[in-house]
Amino acid sequence: MRHDEPRLGEVSVERGAWRFERPIDTGTDPYLLDHVVEGLPVFPAAYLVGLMTQAAHRIRPHLGVVGVRDVRFVQAARFRGTRGFQLAVTAEPEEAEPDDIPVVISSSMSPPREGSPRILRTHAHGKVVLGTPKERAARFQRIDFSNAADYAELYALPREIQHGPAFLAGVKYQRHAPEQLLAVVAPPGGPQRGWREDRDMPGWPSTLLNAILHVGFSLGVLSSARTLLPLELEAADLYAVPEGQVQVFARRQGVHGGRQAFHVVSWDGQGRPVGVFRGFVLQEVP
């Protein structure tokens, strides 16, 4: 797997629950150094969703990932220095809906003082929807971004967050209205790399999820001029992984109590849908 994609750990199965577990730190996963929030590397929220899809797909490899539902980002996973933790991804199919698989991502860390209990945290939970991918019809208009602004301007906002090469997927952007943002994104490192190195890799590429959702995040930052943290993703319909650049449209749907909700749509160079994200909610940091 390429160095800018997270991976699952060793698997164990007990009473129908699949648990993938491995140690993680900035040495095992150097892309973390390219996502720094207020001075500390932070595991990207979109990568948590990517791990969810990997876990579910490992359980039902004969099906495709067609969506996620009811994702909640509970607590950020931060890294201090070289200290890491044990990352666990737990998926347990339900008898009533065997192809809608709940997934929980958590971690455990050694305590700061000997004799104290290990530090346990839940980082995210949600449900991955598996099924047979449907044939996509072109229904979006391809937009000309030749005279648009450089997306690098958005990566510089807000100043509390720094992005490195593993996350520089945005190419150009346009903003025709305060509540809207259009952008074109490409795989980190250039379109020639593709969104996934191995076609047989399970799940949906985390880099692609991150590139698309970052457009919604950027619109939120432009709208509030504040640092934002993801809270939830109500639902996403996921289609075939494209080969190259993806065009993205984000629209802010509402603001309430420091929370902003967004609708984000993406499509490939032929106008075929890539991903449709509803209820992507961001919270202003106090």
Q: What is the pLDDT of residues 59-107, one digit of tens each?
A: 999 999 999 999 999 999 999 888 889 999 999 998 888 899 999 999 9
Q: What are the backbone angles phi and psi of residue 166, rounded to the nearest 5°?
A: -65, -15
pLDDT at 214 over 70: yes
pLDDT at position 109, please?
Answer: 85
Report how far residue 73's alpha carbon sits from residue 84's, in angstroms, rounded to the nearest whole number: 19
Q: Give pLDDT tens digits for 45-56.
A: 999 999 999 999
Q: Give pLDDT tens digits for 159-209.
A: 889 999 989 999 999 998 999 999 999 998 877 778 987 777 899 999 999
Residues 6 or more apart whose Cβ sits within 8 Å of residue 81: none
What are the C-alpha distances in Å from 256 to residues 5, 30, 70, 188, 205? Answer: 34, 36, 19, 34, 31
pLDDT at 279 over 80: yes
Percent of residues, the chain, with pLDDT higher than 70: 98
Averaged over 101-122, what is the pLDDT?
A: 87
What are the C-alpha distances in Å from 80 to residues 36, 62, 175, 194, 273? Answer: 11, 39, 37, 32, 39
User: Do the two domains 10-131 and 149-284 of this chain adopt the same fold?
Assistant: yes
The domain segmentation of the chain, as residue ranges, is 10-131, 149-284
Report how far residue 90's alpha carbon sits from residue 49's, in angstroms, rounded to the nearest whole number: 13
Report how far residue 208's alpha carbon sits from residue 104's, in angstroms, rounded to the nearest whole number: 21
Averaged over 14-42, what is the pLDDT?
A: 93
Categorize the per-residue pLDDT at 2 as very low, low, confident or very high, splitting at 50, 70 and 90: low
pLDDT at position 3, please?
Answer: 63
For 149-284, the fitting CATH number among 3.30.420.40, 3.10.129.120, 2.160.10.10, 3.40.50.620 is 3.10.129.120
Tell me the HSE value of 173 on the side-chain side, using a 13 A CA sphere: 22
**Domain at 10-131, CATH homologous superfamily:** Hotdog Thioesterase (3.10.129.10)
Task: Tell me if 101 sits within 8 A of 67, measured CB to CB.
Answer: no
pLDDT at position 95, please?
Answer: 86
- Total-model pTM: 0.94
Eight-class DSSP state of 208: H
Averaged over 229-240, what is the pLDDT?
A: 96
pLDDT at 258 over 90: no
pLDDT at 1 over 80: no
Contacts 24+ apart (CB under 8 A), 275-278: 275/208, 275/209, 275/212, 275/236, 275/237, 275/238, 275/239, 276/236, 276/237, 277/212, 277/213, 277/216, 277/233, 277/235, 277/236, 278/234, 278/235, 278/236
Q: Give pLDDT tens digits for 127-163.
A: 999 999 888 999 999 999 999 999 999 999 888 899 9
Structure tokens at 285: 């940091």
